[in-house]
Structure 1
Amino acid sequence: MDSTEATPRRGRPGYDQSSMLEVIVQVFTDHGYDASSLGMISTRLGLSKSAVYHHFASKAEMLEIALERALGALEQVFDEAERGGNGAGAAGAAGAGSDAVGQIREIVRAAVLVACEQQPYLILLLRLHGNSDVELRALERRRALTARLRAIFERARNEGALRDDLDPGLAARFTFGLVNSLVEWYRPDGPETPEALAEAVLSYVRSGLRVNEVADFR
């Protein structure tokens, strides 16, 4: 072993905040956010604690940035679908027979893609306990997304596209529950593509909610 190999490295060249965050999220997931320490994180990264703090001001900031990956992407899904529902985008132009149903279709499809693409970050979000201000804010944003989906399901029911004996709040929770369950078993190298999973989830939502024929979820 030469002298270079014998000297402990204080950091790895080429690390940036994004690549570090992937490792940090895995530490949070493995040990839980509360139990994860800066020492664990720096050891997993192969960096000194001061090098980690060069990129992040605190552990809370690490969590906040990580949760934004999931929550920001999901909020964008709703924003784009709702704009489209007014005729500006794919949901409004699809000719589904109902703006609300068109929005539901676009939201479900895009949310599945987010679940696959942001899988580690969504797992972290789903395992929060609300023990810090960052977690509480994230949980409030998550509840707001459920409320937005509930409102769209209520509009779909009022338009006659959703069975009238099913509470829109339950429909929203069932739908998000189905999407969220993907993160526990989806594998990027598995046989199912995100696009195929999105179509499968849409099929289950359509059949489970027994929408009328006019509601085209295809």
Structure 2
Amino acid sequence: MSKQPASESGVRRGRPGYDQGQVLEIAVQVFIEQGYDATSVATLATRLGLSKSALYHHFESKEALLEVALDEALSGLEGALADAGEGSARDRLEHVLRGAVLVLVDRLAYVTLLLRVRGNSDVERAALERRRAFDREVTALVRAAQSEGSVRSDIAPPVATRLLFGMVNSIVEWYRPSGEEGAQELARDVLRVVFDGLGTR
């Protein structure tokens, strides 16, 4: 039997041996490039070189793809909180911030997609609520660190949290894995900037 011709993108037509993770990775890239709302199942199938029925073999809907992708980002951030341990509030805050940077670098596309969610569907609204719950936990850590005197207390905890994650989240706009710094070095630099700014006077 002769081989099927490859498409211009190098993806062979028909049903290549994608696993679910590979389908998800490519779908997330398309969502980022075109916007989730503007991306149709037909567009995803074309990019993958799959029929729509073959795509549905991996995920039952476009919404299911989005839900899994957003969970990939959120579970990493929530894991950083869960692993913060029992040390001082400042130590736990440092752990969460370091973990957030490492998750962002490791799951860059997924976090990028998460940051572009606007709440236009039940899946998006649920993701936004998880983000808000994460922010509340971080705000509580900032407040506790202020109470113990390990970070400056002249910045309102919710404002401090927004400023911290404004900086961390901006990484998705400029960070390139092929650049000069790896994830650990980047996390180190973020912590230096943060705690030089939040240190007690």
**Paired letter, 2:151:** L
Counterpart of 2:51 (choices 31, 48, 53) is: 48
Counterpart of 2:112 (choices 120, 123, 126) is: 123
Counterpart of 1:57 (choices 51, 56, 60) is: 60
1:178 aligns with 2:171: no
Mapped to 2, the partners of 1:211 and 1:199 lie a distance apart of 19
Mapped to 2, the partners of 1:110 and 1:211 lie a distance apart of 23
Counterpart of 1:192 (choices 161, 181, 189) is: 181
Q: Which residue of 2 aligns with 1:29?
A: 32
Q: Which residue of 2 aligns with 1:38?
A: 41
Local SS of the residue matching 1:42: helix
Q: Which residue of 1 aligns with 2:16?
A: 12
Per the TM alignment, residue 71 of structure 1 is displaced from its structure 2 partner at its CA by 0.1
Mark the CA change 1:73 to 1:6 in structure 2 (over 3 Å): closer, same or farther. Answer: closer
What's the % identity of the aligned pairs? 48
Residue by residue over 1:39-92, the C-alpha shift from the partner in whole angstroms, topping out at 9 and shown as x without a partner, is 1100100111101000101111000000011000100100110xx12xxxxxx3
1:154 aligns with 2:143: yes
Mapped to 2, the partners of 1:19 and 1:164 lie a distance apart of 46
**Paired letter, 1:146:** D
Per the TM alignment, residue 6 of structure 1 is displaced from its structure 2 partner at its CA by 5.5
Please give the TM-score of this superposition, normalised by the length of structure 1: 0.86
How much is the aligned-residue C-alpha RMSD, in angstroms? 1.6
Per the TM alignment, residue 148 of structure 1 is displaced from its structure 2 partner at its CA by 0.5
Q: Which ranges of structure 1 fall in alignment gaps of 5 or more residues?
A: 86-91, 93-98, 213-218
Mapped to 2, the partners of 1:211 and 1:32 lie a distance apart of 43
Mark the CA change 1:196 to 1:38 in structure 2 (over 3 Å): closer, same or farther. Answer: same
Q: Which ranges of structure 2 fall in alignment gaps of 5 or more residues?
A: 7-11
Mapped to 2, the partners of 1:196 and 1:4 lie a distance apart of 46
**Paired letter, 1:57:** E
1:103 aligns with 2:102: no
Mapped to 1, the partners of 2:3 and 2:185 lie a distance apart of 50
Per the TM alignment, residue 205 of structure 1 is displaced from its structure 2 partner at its CA by 0.6
Local SS of the residue matching 2:83: helix
Counterpart of 1:133 (choices 122, 128, 136) is: 122
Give the count of matched residue pairs: 196
Mapped to 2, the partners of 1:190 and 1:6 lie a distance apart of 36
Mapped to 1, the partners of 2:137 and 2:43 lie a distance apart of 38
Mark the CA change 1:160 to 1:6 in structure 2 (over 3 Å): closer, same or farther. Answer: closer
Local SS of the residue matching 1:4: coil
Residue by residue over 1:137-193, the C-alpha shift from the partner in whole angstroms, topping out at 9 and shown as x without a partner, is 001100111110000000011111121211111111111111111111111111111
Mark the CA change 1:197 to 1:47 in structure 2 (over 3 Å): closer, same or farther. Answer: same
Asked whether the equivalents of residues 20 and 58 of structure 2 are also in contact (C-alpha less than 8 Å), the reply is yes
**Paired letter, 2:156:** D
Residue by residue over 1:5-59, the C-alpha shift from the partner in whole angstroms, topping out at 9 and shown as x without a partner, is 469832112x111011010001111111111001110010011110100010111
